[in-house]
Amino acid sequence: MMAASRPKSALPIGVAHFSSIMLPPAEFAKIAGRAGFSRIGLRLHPAFPGAPYYELPVGGAAAGELKAVLAGEEVEVFDIEFFVLDPSFDASSVEATLAAAANIGARRLSVCGDDPDHARLLSNFSAICVLAGQYGLAVDIENMGWRVVKAFEDSIELVTRAGMENAGVLVDGVHFFRNGAALANLRANLDKVKHVQLCDIAGPAPTKPEEMIAEARSGRLPPGEGELPLSDLVAVVGTAASISVEVPLVGSMAPEAHLKHLFNCAERMVRPDR
């Protein structure tokens, strides 16, 4: 049965699966849609060894269930995560995941760069872009302080050197500001930025890799509840890139309440007139 139509933000707002990764895709889509989100990201590949993820093979029951929920809740899959382009990466080994992503209507996939051999990193990034393009997908590189592609400028350089039409940059609030980028950098390279993830943070920036990882995975705050100039970030981006929110659920709050709170915070930032 089709869900009752709910008011959605005029500018679509998405939410990353990592915000409630304990929820299987169909349940996540349902709860996110009822919280007000129009788009979701899904974790179909582990972001690091042992990280939770979900498989949705083409033709499988789980993919069929998800498609039904997406239609009923008026939600679409925007992006999938997450591939680490390290020295062992082989684009051909992830083709089944790309096929699964295309099957559920995803538009983009997210990667990060962690190979000190810059020529090989460029080659692998180009290869995943070519393969993704065969499935109608685009590829966004996300900088992280403990990776080789650590700063926003590194992401821009990789995309520029690759020269692939379906390559873009993902700006994550924590990684963008914690690794030295300024809004002037964003404004100058806005044509390459395709996806912006909102999240907030408070306190001094960590300097050790293990501290950066801990902050990114368990120290994020909802947009507007920390110290980052996210409103200014949103103002610069405007409608040039898709907006989503990524704040992992830490603590005992129910996923329904967490996702609703994230939507309210994100909407206040994206649509301050409401």
Using CA atoms, how far residue 158 sits from 15, 30, 147, 169, in Å, is: 26, 36, 14, 9
Structural domain span for residue 221: 13-270
* Angstrom distance (rounded) from CA 263 to CA 269: 10
Within-domain flag for 101: yes
Tokens read off for 173 = 């609030």
CATH of the domain at 42: 3.20.20.150
Within-domain flag for 164: yes
pLDDT at 274: 60
3-state SS class at 84: strand
**pLDDT mean values, one per 10 residues, the chain (274 residues):** 47 95 97 97 90 94 97 96 96 96 98 98 98 98 98 98 98 96 96 98 95 95 97 96 96 95 96 70
Within-domain flag for 122: yes
pLDDT at 252: 87
CB burial string 116-147: b at 16+ within 10 A, e below:
eeeeebbbbbbbbbebbbebebbbbbbbbbbb
pLDDT at 49: 83
Within-domain flag for 256: yes
Within-domain flag for 233: yes
Within-domain flag for 20: yes
- Count up the domains in the chain and report the number: 1
* Angstrom distance (rounded) from CA 8 to CA 99: 29
pLDDT at 263: 97
Within-domain flag for 186: yes
Within-domain flag for 155: yes
3-state SS class at 62: helix
